[in-house]
Amino acid sequence: MSERVVIVGGTSGIGLATAELLRDRGYGVVVAGRSADRLESALKLLGEGVEGRTLDAGDEEQLAAFFGETGPFDHLVVTVSPRGGITPLLELTGAELRRHSEGKLIPQLLTVKAALPTLRADGSVTLLGAVSSQLSGAGLAVLGSSNAAVETAARILAAELAPRRVNAVSPGVIDTPWWDWVPEEGRGDVVAGACSGTPMGRPGRPEEVAHAIGFLVENTYTTGIVLPVDGGARLAS
- Contacts with ligand NAP by CB under 6 A lie at 8-9, 11-15, 33-35, 38, 55-58, 79-81, 83, 107, 128, 130, 171, 173-174, 176-178
Least separation in angstroms between CB 8 and ligand NAP: 6
| Nearest CB to ligand NAP, comparing residues 9 and 123 | 9
| Nearest CB to ligand NAP, comparing residues 108 and 223 | 108
Q: Based on C-alpha coordinates, what's the Rg of the chain?
A: 17
Least separation in angstroms between CB 109 and ligand NAP: 12
Least separation in angstroms between CB 38 and ligand NAP: 4
| Nearest CB to ligand NAP, comparing residues 88 and 177 | 177
Q: Which of 212, 8, 37 is nearest to 112 (CA)?
A: 8
> By Cβ distance, which residue is nearest to ligand NAP?
13
Least separation in angstroms between CB 230 and ligand NAP: 8
| Nearest CB to ligand NAP, comparing residues 46 and 57 | 57
Q: 28-35 — which CB contacts under 8 Å span 24+ positions?
A: 28/2, 28/3, 28/4, 28/73, 29/4, 29/5, 30/4, 30/5, 30/6, 30/70, 30/73, 31/7, 32/6, 32/7, 32/8, 32/57, 32/66, 33/8, 33/9, 33/80, 35/11
Least separation in angstroms between CB 178 and ligand NAP: 3
| Nearest CB to ligand NAP, comparing residues 56 and 74 | 56
Strand partners, 228: 170
Q: What whole-number distance in Å separates Cα of residue 201 and Cα of residue 232?
A: 9
